Structure 1
Amino acid sequence: MPTPPGTPPDVISRVVASQLSEREGWRVVVENRPGALQTVAMLDVLKQPADGLTIYPMSVPTAAVPALMPQLGIRPDDDFIPVVKLSTSYNVLVIPPDFSAKTMPEFVALLKARPGQFNFSSAGFGTPAHLAAELFKLEAGVQAVHVPYVQPQQRLADLLTGINHFDFLASVTAGDLIATGKLRGIAVTAPSRIVGLPNVPTVVEQGFPNLVVEDYVGFAVKSGTPDAVVGRLNEAVNRALRDPKVRETFEKLGATPAGGAQPDFRDFMRKQVGHWSRVVKEAGIKLPQ
């Protein structure tokens, strides 16, 4: 597990791991190995035999690794076999409620009027919020300063007190803050409105179709794993995702069960790697040394 305990990818992976244990009779152990833009866990999996017994959970940062850390020579779409997507979710562009902007175009106009005077926060370099914000800057033609955080509580505190001016929060985190008026949600990075935030318009509705950013979790194994093993894992995960308890748990996290055929997730990850490599290059994102 390339993220810390309690993070959405961790919880989602554990829910599915529990189902695999219960339904298939497999003994599944979840080991958290966060760090270095998820590459600690990634490199650990690549040291293991290609037998399908060690699984790597992929998410948005996975696709950005080749561009952000080229010195490692990792290609997640080549070094791994993407087996199956577990979940899909989206982020929400949130701003302080005292801002004059009520819509995305109005917020873009505000940023353009004061270039470089606004900050945006994230959980760190290469995280979904960071990458979504960098894509937003490119698509909207605006400037803003990135402020990465290690502690999620401090990130939210500084957002709520106005130290930082916008963020692309996970929908489950943003929901209560928007409902209580602590933040204003002005756009969801989804192609259509989401169930948890029906009153927040999408980026597509507001004229930014290229800002659709899917946050996802999916299982992968080391390249060279036999097709039969990959197929068996894909089928088992698809069965697990159909369980009503899984759907209920995912919904509490603002996520929707995905599933599907192995080639579909493979093609999806290839497109993701290409997409985020372009964004990193065009935005000139450099990891701090």
Structure 2
Amino acid sequence: MAAWPAAAQDGYPNRPIKLVVPYGAGGGTDQIARLMAEKLQQRLGQPVVVDNKPGAGTVIGSEYVSKQPADGYTLLLTTSGLTSAPVMMAKVPFDPVTSFTPIAPLAIMLISLSASNDVPASTVPELIAYMKAHPGKLNYASYGVATTNNLAMTLFNQRAGVQSTHVPYKAGAQALPDLVSGQVQLMFDSMQTSGPLIKAGKLKTLALATSARSPLMPEVPTVAEAGLPGFAFEPWFGLFGPAGLPAPIVNRLNKEINSALKEPEVLQAMRIQYLTPTPGSADKMRELVRKDLAYWAAAAKVAGVQPE
């Protein structure tokens, strides 16, 4: 990490911090960002302002942060979408490993294969049978070409031997109304955002994308056990800064994030949003990025995905 004047580190922070979210307002990432911004603000004694910069998957917001000074006043709260962008896009204006400084892992999402109530299937085997009988009839939503839920559905189609049409959106808050109305029929989506609609009977979940049944929804089967062995999609939330962020700033932010993740209020909020907190070191976040890059590259190869 780059050297930085000691006085600047000792006095950190002494002005407002911008927390960039590469997704639109109202979605699952925005919700966790606002929760963590509030907790960081309380602990750091300076305003922490959420700045939504959606578009091109997660690329617009991520690129913005990668080009900011490494002073701790512009941070990135993002998801596994950071690691799928190089797999899904031919030209990405940053490197997920070298363009950012990992600060802390935050949580693991619970992902549902959510469907419009109009879809004549209640299980994954029923869905696959319907899709094979009606190739290309169903549309699926994602948060953009370079996102993990697009790649997950592409992999699902390949593994199941079915076809569906991709309809990209800028944010879950835009996609979900169309999923409810039946304009699109399928989406791998976080239970943060799909959960309330599923509870209200406006959507249905066919399966979860976890590697094993979730204690948060033990009655719902996984995609793997429902017919696609080995299928798993367990994206994370993480906090990053630009490359070269000084170690004292990384350590301060990591300490405050990990403390916040143990607060009863935060734990309860995460349970409500179907999230599993993952307190940990900056090195743990760095390893998650490297692991995901390898996972999505392999998944894209299996699915025959070509960068666009």
In 2, Cα distance between equivalents of 1:198 and 1:242:
24
Could you tell me whether the CA contact under 8 Å between 1:66 and 1:73 is conserved in 2? no
- 2:75 is equivalent to residue 34 of structure 1: no
Post-superposition shift, 1:91?
A: 1.6
Q: Corresponding residue for 1:23?
A: 43
- 2:253 is equivalent to residue 233 of structure 1: yes
Post-superposition shift, 1:12?
A: 1.0
Q: Corresponding residue for 1:284?
A: 305
Where does the alignment leave 5 or more consecutive residues of structure 1 unmatched? none
SS of the aligned residue for 1:264 comes to: helix
Change in 2 beyond 3 A, CA 1:90/1:226: same
In 1, Cα distance between equivalents of 2:47 and 2:178:
42
- 2:63 is equivalent to residue 74 of structure 1: no
In 1, Cα distance between equivalents of 2:250 and 2:167:
40
Could you tell me whether the CA contact under 8 Å between 2:102 and 2:282 is conserved in 1? yes
Change in 2 beyond 3 A, CA 1:247/1:138: same
Change in 2 beyond 3 A, CA 1:245/1:132: same
Q: Corresponding residue for 2:241?
A: 221
In 1, Cα distance between equivalents of 2:269 and 2:295:
30
Q: Give the one of 137, 145, 167 matched to 1:125.
A: 145
Q: Corresponding residue for 2:163?
A: 143
Letter in 1 for 2:235: D
SS of the aligned residue for 2:98 comes to: helix
User: What are the superposed Cα offsets for residues 147-174 of structure 1, whole Å, 9 maximum, x if unpaired?
Assistant: 2234756634443444433222321333
Could you tell me whether the CA contact under 8 Å between 2:112 and 2:207 is conserved in 1? yes
Task: Give the structure with the higher percent helix.
Answer: 1
TM-score normalised to the size of structure 1?
Answer: 0.86
TM-score normalised to the size of structure 2?
Answer: 0.81
Change in 2 beyond 3 A, CA 1:174/1:32: closer
Q: Corresponding residue for 2:131?
A: 111
Letter in 1 for 2:297: S
Paired positions, count: 287
- Residues 84-233 of structure 1: pairs in structure 2 closer than 5 A: 84-97=104-117, 99=119, 101-150=121-170, 155-233=175-253
SS of the aligned residue for 2:43 comes to: helix
Structure 1 stretch displaced more, 231-240 or 157-166: 157-166
Letter in 2 for 1:284: V
Post-superposition shift, 1:56?
A: 1.3
The share of aligned pairs that are identical, in percent, is 35
SS of the aligned residue for 2:219 comes to: coil
Change in 2 beyond 3 A, CA 1:172/1:8: closer
Compute the RMSD of aligned alpha carbons. Answer: 2.6
Could you tell me whether the CA contact under 8 Å between 2:25 and 2:173 is conserved in 1? no
Q: Give the one of 64, 75, 79 matched to 1:55.
A: 75
Post-superposition shift, 1:64?
A: 1.6
User: What are the superposed Cα offsets for residues 241-278 of structure 1, whole Å, 9 maximum, x if unpaired?
Assistant: 11111122222322222211221111111111222234
- 2:278 is equivalent to residue 258 of structure 1: yes
Post-superposition shift, 1:235?
A: 1.6
Change in 2 beyond 3 A, CA 1:158/1:223: closer
Letter in 2 for 1:47: K
Post-superposition shift, 1:55?
A: 1.3
Post-superposition shift, 1:33?
A: 2.4
Letter in 1 for 2:108: T
Post-superposition shift, 1:216?
A: 2.0
Could you tell me whether the CA contact under 8 Å between 1:37 and 1:65 is conserved in 2? yes
SS of the aligned residue for 1:86 comes to: strand
User: What are the superposed Cα offsets for residues 54-82 of structure 1, whole Å, 9 maximum, x if unpaired?
Assistant: 21112122112222334234211221122
Could you tell me whether the CA contact under 8 Å between 2:24 and 2:170 is conserved in 1? no
SS of the aligned residue for 2:212 comes to: coil
Letter in 1 for 2:186: F
In 1, Cα distance between equivalents of 2:142 and 2:92:
24
